[in-house]
Structure 1
Amino acid sequence: MSLNISYQLDELDLQILELLIKDCRTPYLEIARICHVSGGTIHVRMKKMEELGIIKGTRILLNLPKLGYDVCCFVGIYVDKTSSFDSVFEELSKIKEVVEVHLTTGNYSILAKVVCKNISNLQDILLNKINVINGVQRTDTIISLDQRVDRNISI
Structure 2
Amino acid sequence: MVHEIDKLDKQILKLLMQDVTRAYTDIAKELNVSGGTIHVRMKKLNDLGVVKGAQLLVNPSAVGYDICAFIGVYLDKGSDYKATVEQMRQIPEIVELHYTTGSYSMFVKIICRDTKHLREILNERIQAIEGVQRTETLISLDESISRQITI
TM class, shorter-chain normalised? over 0.9
Aligned partner of 1:90 in structure 2 is: 86
| 1:4 aligned onto 2:2 | yes
For residues 48-67 of structure 1, the aligned pairs below 5 Å read 48-67=44-63
Confirm whether residue 42 of structure 1 aligns to residue 38 of structure 2.
yes
Instruction: Kindly report which structure 2 residues correspond to 1:3-152, keeping only aligned pairs within 5 A, or say none.
Output: 4-5=2-3, 8-152=4-148
**Could you list the runs of 4 or more consecutive aligned residues of structure 1 that deviate by over 3 angstroms after TM superposition?**
none
Distance in 1 of aligned mates of 2:63 and 2:2: 40
Distance 1:150 1:144 in 2: 13
The one-letter code sitting in structure 2 at the alignment partner of 1:127 is: N
CA distance in 2, matches of 1:52, 1:120: 43
Distance 2:102 2:79 in 1: 18
Normalised to the residue count of structure 1, the TM-score between the two structures is: 0.95
For structure 1, which runs of at least 5 residues remain unmatched after alignment?
Answer: none
- Match of 2:21, SS state, is coil
Corresponding residue pairs, total:
151
Q: Which runs of 5+ in 2 are unaligned?
A: none
Identity in percent: 47
Alpha-carbon distance in structure 2 between the residues aligned to 1:20 and 1:106: 35
